[in-house]
Structure 1
Amino acid sequence: MTSRLDNFTDAAFAFAVTLLVIGGSEAPSDYAMLSAAVAEVPAFAIGFAIIAMFWFAHVRWRGFRGEGDWLSVLLSVLLVFLVLIYVQPLRAMARSFSSFLGGGGTPFVGDLGDLFFIYGLGFVAMAATTAALFREARRNPELDAGNRHAAQGETRIWLILVATGLVSVLLSRFEATENFAPLAYATLPATIGLFVWRWFREARFAAVAGTEE
């Protein structure tokens, strides 16, 4: 059953990526359409990287899962459900962010706060489900101490992503702070980097203390 579940999850993530295909479903028929399609490359790269991040987390989780149970199936199916919904606000966010970086402003028609509110809700739901997967994996009785520790670290990293998404959602709800909603995600390299540094530092100290005993 686990192999079928993994294949189903991989196929769902692959389908989500196809929804980000450059230029939509219509093939370019002239130079203007081709140029417009090529201009979508940065937006596609951003969306692809984020979807790949969640997919690769599921792949890593499989190494901790073992045989799995009904909860692992439920959480995996929930992740599939969420990614197929999340891909639409992700595509809108990626296009707006790519256009902004290129100096063309944002092509999103409407309130930027509303865009990041919807995108943030999807991001939080995806990250929370991924955190729950790694927490569920710690129930596997066959996990050794090292893998159990690694699964715990993964859980906390994804909870950092959940907290960051919630901050962005809150910022997006107020007119005075909505422009700062995208910047919340820019803090992730620093917060995750600091956590990983402390996590491995504490693990080394624990290992040294264990050898001295």
Structure 2
Amino acid sequence: MKFLHNIGRIEAFSDAVFAFAATLMVVNFDLDTDLTLSKTDATGFLSFAVSFFVLVALWWAHYNFFRRTKYMDNVLIALNALLLFVVLYYVFPLKSLVHSWMGEGVKTKEDLSNLFVMYGIGFSLIFFCFSGMYFRAYKKSKSSEKSLNLYFYARHFAIFVLVSLISIVLALFGFGIEFGLPGFFYALLGPLCYLHSKQFYKRYELN
């Protein structure tokens, strides 16, 4: 006898992992007991703030996936587990990247290149999971209207993966490292996602 998956438990477990990731950020946030604000303290607070709100954005994307579909199977559970695994480690290279913006932690171009590669790998894996989850739900959807919506987001997050992979290549070969080009490359996400949306809605004659 085949039992249906309990989506509520999967969401609850996922929320617990996101909460644990936030806890790890707080534990690793150092604040001097004398209440004086130094450059190091300001950098630590900024890296914590950026990491926290990125974590919230990822949680929001995860939350929206479960609002858009009620389908669940073992493939989706595996992709969700991989997503949560990467999220737990993703915040740490992100914090280091913020430190590099403030001139701390990164001493050479090679250090910065490695940091961009670490960041890019985490970024690409996270959105590969999102894209894969949406595509799996799209393939299993029985509603044509909902199916198109799921397909749109599968393609939407695939753009994130493509951009991050190109950024990784730039970092590996050192193109524009001194100017932070692999990081600025992510700015293309806005226009690319906009063009994809316009093309998708025109192709499928959606309002």
TM-score of the superposition, structure 2-length normalised? 0.83
Amino acid at match of 1:127: F
Question: CA RMSD, aligned part only?
Answer: 2.4
Per mean C-alpha deviation after superposition, the further-off stretch among 160-169 and 107-116 is: 107-116
- Is 1:197 paired with 2:198? yes
- State which of 9, 18, 36 in structure 1 corresponds to 2:23: 18
SS in 1 for 2:25: coil
- Is 1:140 paired with 2:140? yes
Superposition map of 1:1-213 within 5 A = 1-21=6-26, 24-32=28-36, 36-97=40-101, 99=102, 105-110=103-108, 111-142=111-142, 144-178=143-177, 179-203=180-204, 206=205
* Cα shift readout 1:58-94 (whole Å, capped 9, x = no counterpart): 2111123324111111111111111112221122123
> Distance between the aligned counterparts of 1:186 and 1:54, measured in 2?
18
* Cα shift readout 1:85-104 (whole Å, capped 9, x = no counterpart): 2221122123323x2xxxxx
> Distance between the aligned counterparts of 1:94 and 1:20, measured in 2?
14
Instruction: Assess, with a 3 A threshold, how the Cα gap between structure 1 residues 85 and 91 changes in structure 2: closer, same or farther.
Output: same
SS in 2 for 1:53: helix
Amino acid at match of 2:189: L
> Distance between the aligned counterparts of 1:82 and 1:138, measured in 2?
23
> Distance between the aligned counterparts of 1:193 and 1:95, measured in 2?
31
Instruction: Assess, with a 3 A threshold, how the Cα gap between structure 1 residues 129 and 17 changes in structure 2: closer, same or farther.
Output: same
Amino acid at match of 2:96: A
SS in 2 for 1:95: helix
Amino acid at match of 2:120: G
Asked whether the equivalents of residues 51 and 95 of structure 2 are also in contact (C-alpha less than 8 Å), the reply is yes
Q: Which runs of 4+ in 1 moved over 6 A?
A: none
TM-score of the superposition, structure 1-length normalised? 0.81
Give identity over the alignment, percent.
26
SS in 1 for 2:84: helix
* Cα shift readout 1:132-168 (whole Å, capped 9, x = no counterpart): 01011113344x2221111111111111000110011
Instruction: Assess, with a 3 A threshold, how the Cα gap between structure 1 residues 113 and 139 changes in structure 2: closer, same or farther.
Output: same
Asked whether the equivalents of residues 64 and 137 of structure 1 are also in contact (C-alpha less than 8 Å), the reply is no
Asked whether the equivalents of residues 176 and 182 of structure 2 are also in contact (C-alpha less than 8 Å), the reply is yes
Gaps of 5+ in 1: 100-104, 209-213
Shift of 1:38: 4.5
Gaps of 5+ in 2: 1-5
